[in-house]
Amino acid sequence: MGRDDIAMTASDASSAVTSPVPDKPVGHGTATTPALSISTVSHSYGARRALIDVDFTVAPASFTALLGLNGAGKSTLFSLVTRLFAIQAGGIRIFGHDIGQSPGEALRLMGVVFQPRTLDLDLSVMQNLLYHAALHGIGRRDARLRSDEILSRIGLADRAGSKVRDLSGGQMRRLEIARALLHRPRLLLLDEATVGLDVKARADILGHVRHLVTEQGIGVLWATHLFDEIIPSDNLVILHQGRVLARGEVARVLEEAGARDVNSAFMRLTGTQSGSLTP
């Protein structure tokens, strides 16, 4: 079975990850509306093709891992979903809102944690949150209430007045996640959110994000190159050299790839050597 065959078969695997992408906007907030629909998206940097016909969806209240090597196209995809780059081909919808046609409505429903740190190191923890709240039009009083609440939840309440540059790497990542949740999005995108963190900090952050899915019904797209961050109940999208090679529930992807674990499935699908995705 070739890669395309697997991708084709896997595309029918799970309603959570692979439901057909609607051509027209659907009713907002309905149970059937995907949190994120990526429909045959392609992107090139000059002659280099970074994404080729990428196509998958993320359901509300689901955790979808986007697995790929460095250079697979994950960050390019994030830049397209967040409208940092314009879409060259295909379409992207957030809860039915086309990111190109209605960017404001789409971005309002989305929280993002980018791969590079995007906090202002010279400002305090609270100031960073208030700035983000202002960018979403949230008034100062409401923003303070939300910030206090969210800092308590992530265990940084006592660091509200600290400069961000004085936080540890794990604390900064938690703060970035808290900031991404401040405007109460229904879709959370995280691009390699645990890179550079120790094992405990990684586990804490992953646990926190999974908790958001179950407790708050947030749809999560978690881009990673680390196999051990994926568990059987997740949905999985394997991206390699700009193409989606497989997608669906983890069990289904394993079955289609004829592999016992995600590591083996990835190696089999991509033809890469074992151990190439170590942290």
Summarize as ranges the residues that interact with another protein (CB under 8 A): 28-29, 45, 50, 70-76, 79, 82-86, 95, 102-110, 112, 114-120, 122-123, 127, 130-140, 184, 186, 191
- Residue closer to another protein by CB (options 189, 254) is 189
Q: Tokens at residue 275, please? A: 């151990």
- Angle between helical axes of 169-181 and 125-135 (0-180°, round to 10): 30
Taking the complex as a whole, the smallest distance from the CB of residue 8 to another protein amounts, in Å, to 25
Taking the complex as a whole, the smallest distance from the CB of residue 156 to another protein amounts, in Å, to 18
- Residue closer to another protein by CB (options 260, 278) is 278
- Residue closer to another protein by CB (options 64, 82) is 82
Taking the complex as a whole, the smallest distance from the CB of residue 45 to another protein amounts, in Å, to 5
Kindly list the strands in the beta sheet with 36-45, ordered across the sheet, starting from the edge strand earlier in the chain. Answer: 48-58, 36-45, 89-94, 97-98
- Residue closer to another protein by CB (options 38, 250) is 38
CA-CA-CA-CA torsion sign (200, 201, 202, 205): positive
From residue 65, alpha-carbon distances to 48, 79, 120, 137, 166 in Å are 25, 17, 28, 31, 31
- Residue closer to another protein by CB (options 170, 203) is 170
DSSP one-letter string for 118-163: -S-TTSBHHHHHHHHHHHTT--HHHHHHHHHHHHHHTT-GGGTTSB
- Residue closer to another protein by CB (options 191, 234) is 191
Q: How far is CA 86 from the centre of its chain?
A: 18
Q: Measured between alpha carbons, how far is 114 from 54 in angstroms, rounded to an integer? A: 20
Kindly list the strands in the beta sheet with 219-224, ordered across the sheet, starting from the edge strand earlier in the chain. Answer: 110-113, 187-191, 219-224, 63-67, 235-240, 243-249
Taking the complex as a whole, the smallest distance from the CB of residue 96 to another protein amounts, in Å, to 9
- Residue closer to another protein by CB (options 13, 81) is 81
Taking the complex as a whole, the smallest distance from the CB of residue 117 to another protein amounts, in Å, to 6
Taking the complex as a whole, the smallest distance from the CB of residue 269 to another protein amounts, in Å, to 18
Taking the complex as a whole, the smallest distance from the CB of residue 187 to another protein amounts, in Å, to 11
